[in-house]
Structure 1
Amino acid sequence: MYPKIDFLYLSEPDMIEAGVLDAARCVAVCEETFSLLGKGDYLMGGVNHNNHGMNIVFPKETKFPNMPVAGPDRRFAAMPGYLGGRFDVCGNKWYGSNHANAQKDLPRSILTMMINDKDTGAPIALMSANLLSAARTGAVPGVAAKHLVNQDAKSVSVIGCGPINKACFTAIMSQLGAIEQVVCFDVFIDKANEFAGWVEEKYGISAIGVDDAEAGFRGADVITVAASRLKPLFFKDDWIKEGATILVSGPFNTDESFLTNCKIVYDHTPLQEAYVEDAIASGNKEGYYSGVIGGPFYRLIDAGKLPALSASTGLGDVVNGAKPGRENTKERVIFIACGMAVFDISWGFEMVENARKKGIGQSLNLWEKPAGL
């Protein structure tokens, strides 16, 4: 009458064995997820069902001795969602971040992912999610590369040489077959050179490291942006060549003339609208815009210089053929990704399926019978 509940636990080594780093497969699963987003077969948090997540941020000062205080990139976030299609599950990514983690030899963010039965709420799997989150973050611009980049593109610029852009670059390269040259930009030249060395070793193509932003952007066919939130970067309109595609996964600023003279594709326009709703509710719209990836777009929409988000194009629309993506080889295209829990759910679900097939992971018991019933 009261069945026991077991769930699967997957450690980081388990996730690697289950294929979490398979970039091409992750792009395919994320493309499938975009199709479901375009059809509306999903839910996320908030009354609008499109909220990125719920955040805990800490005060600058507190009278409580154990309460954390604000610090660079210090926060917690819960990112719940439901995804339909063949996935048909709920899930939540639990995200803790603190820039000071580096002093403890820890990654800036430590993440876990829970997948749950949509009807009972019972846990299906709990998994390590740092690699999961990085893989799906990279795969999203990978899907955009498939649909928006000129397929004869020869050069890629990597703007920000951290682990997230490594995941982005890996996914993008799984979709492009003609790349011959890579420029790696970072404000720290040693990081740029290290990334360039990794590119040459892994892909056997020419790569150089630079610490000058213009050298990073100018002349590239494809540009992947995942710079630090602590060091937002600026690029100029005239640095971006005809036919270029910019895949944005991190904060940036640029000339108004660029944003009003390029094709803009968002990851999901209802998500972007939810960000604007949050900005209005914050009582400090401009301050909020400064802290989110879409801020430069939102300002121009408010000023009437860009179309409303409801009239704009999301990548799910492009994947489903409902709206055009790139319409000619000469237009400049910019894609903006802000991150959605549904991608963690779909890639996490895929890892659970793979783990079950391969006998990977550990079964944990929630109860044999719920107490008190």
Structure 2
Amino acid sequence: MDPRIDFLYLSEPDMIAAGVLDAKRCVEVCEETFALLGKGDYLMGGANHNNHGMNIVFPKETKFPNMPVAGPDRRFAAMPGYLGGRFDVCGNKWYGSNHANIEKGLPRSILTMMLNDKETGAPLALMSANLLSAARTGGVPGAAARHLVNKGAKVVSVVGCGPINKACFTAIMTQLEGVEKVVCFDLFLDKANEFARWVQGEYGVGAVGVDDTEAGFRDADVITVAASRLRPLYFEDEWIKQGATILVSGPFNTDESFLTSARIVYDHTALQEAYVEDAIASGNKEAYYSGVIGGPFFRLIDAGKLPALKDSTSLGDVVNGAKPGRADLKERVIFIACGMAVFDISWGFELLQNARARGIGQSLNLWERPHQG
């Protein structure tokens, strides 16, 4: 057997050339991934095989002069996993995040993705992952839209006008045919107006920017939520019309009456159960719940006001036909997505296949022969 190991390096321009911005295809790959999740053909981190990942969170104070201290959105995270089906590959997304990056002209988070052979552990590809991660973050609610949104949806609301929600909106729009109006809400009106101008130019539909929260939710058929963590987002039950679908990719809170009356579909209930396990292990469930997207649901489950996660619906169940998604045209549906490494793996694998077929990227050598056997 030849011990030589080469792997492919894909820069951000390489990723673009390989199709990372193809939102429609990303939604299809995410749907395929949900089907595998529903069947159980995957592994993620932790003893429960369902952990979101492992974080390095910096302390508020340190006696070591070079050790970083806590700051807004400052952390490192590793998200490993294995995905079966046609992918049959291991991978890990690694990223550092720091809100102060913006002052340096950098994205808040800088990400890379490594794919590895499942048998040997040998690297297959190292790729720039900012666009990959954004695309699959959008592709997840895009897949949810395919299965949960009423087909006659005409008004879409974008709650939070940053790059993540641009990716979500782009993916969701690949699944909607009759959109006539887009409402763009942000705490900063200039950002909302900028997003609205982009929507008008890109899609040719009417769009308006608003900085009033109620205006961002009322009368919308589809609402994509990916707002900033810097200020809590709250919406009221009465703002949500019959038949609306809310696709949640960021933190929020709302009236108990809405969550106990809407149909809830989770990205993957086993992942949500892993979050609850971590909350219990933290010794302060309430503080932990406040920091995760599923917190509002977990509180109501603990209080016996919502079904246990094991009795709830994952989108993989809906994709596989094991459980229903939307029951009727009037039902209000909320979908919650918290992010899973398997989607980075599936979309990364798809792009690696594209890159190989198109001769994109740079081959790097790990070794001709390992120095130690």
TM-score calculated relative to the size of structure 1? 1.00
Contact 1:62–1:69 (Cα < 8 Å) also in 2: yes
- The alignment partner of 1:223 has SS state of strand
**How far apart are the structure 2 equivalents of 1:129 and 1:232?**
28
Q: Quote the residue 2:224 is aligned against.
A: 224
- The alignment partner of 2:246 has SS state of strand
Name structure 1 gaps, 5 residues minimum: none
- Structure 1 residue 95: deviation in Å? 1.1
- The alignment partner of 2:231 has SS state of coil
After superposition, the C-alpha distances for 1:224-264 in whole angstroms (9 at most, x for unaligned) are 00001122200000000000000000000000000000000
- The alignment partner of 2:272 has SS state of helix
1:133-282 equivalent positions in 2, closer than 5 A = 133-282=133-282
Q: Quote the residue 2:286 is aligned against.
A: 286
- The alignment partner of 2:182 has SS state of strand
Q: Quote the residue 2:331 is aligned against.
A: 331
Asked if residue 45 in structure 1 is aligned to residue 34 in structure 2, the reply is: no
Contact 1:137–1:164 (Cα < 8 Å) also in 2: yes
**How far apart are the structure 1 equivalents of 2:232 and 2:156?**
20
Instruction: Give the AA of the match of 1:192.
Output: A
**How far apart are the structure 2 equivalents of 1:183 and 1:64?**
48
Contact 1:269–1:310 (Cα < 8 Å) also in 2: yes
Instruction: Give the AA of the match of 1:184.
Output: C
Asked if residue 73 in structure 1 is aligned to residue 73 in structure 2, the reply is: yes
Contact 1:154–1:181 (Cα < 8 Å) also in 2: yes
Instruction: Give the AA of the match of 1:206.
Output: G
Aligned residues: 373
Instruction: Give the AA of the match of 1:346.
Output: S
Contact 1:161–1:184 (Cα < 8 Å) also in 2: yes
**How far apart are the structure 2 equivalents of 1:232 and 1:198?**
26
Instruction: Give the AA of the match of 2:233.
Output: L
- The alignment partner of 1:47 has SS state of coil
Instruction: Give the AA of the match of 1:227.
Output: A
Contact 1:2–1:370 (Cα < 8 Å) also in 2: no
**How far apart are the structure 2 equivalents of 1:53 and 1:136?**
16
Q: Quote the residue 2:346 is aligned against.
A: 346
After superposition, the C-alpha distances for 1:114-154 in whole angstroms (9 at most, x for unaligned) are 00000000000000000000000000000000000001100
Asked if residue 366 in structure 1 is aligned to residue 369 in structure 2, the reply is: no
After superposition, the C-alpha distances for 1:25-81 in whole angstroms (9 at most, x for unaligned) are 000000000000000000000000000000000000000000000000000000000
**How far apart are the structure 2 equivalents of 1:131 and 1:255?**
34
CA RMSD across the alignment: 0.5
TM-score calculated relative to the size of structure 2? 1.00
**How far apart are the structure 2 equivalents of 1:180 and 1:93?**
37
**How far apart are the structure 2 equivalents of 1:299 and 1:49?**
23
1:311-330 equivalent positions in 2, closer than 5 A = 311-330=311-330
**How far apart are the structure 2 equivalents of 1:257 and 1:239?**
12
- The alignment partner of 2:38 has SS state of helix
Contact 1:147–1:318 (Cα < 8 Å) also in 2: yes
Contact 1:54–1:78 (Cα < 8 Å) also in 2: yes
Instruction: Give the AA of the match of 2:5.
Output: I
**How far apart are the structure 1 equivalents of 2:122 and 2:303?**
47
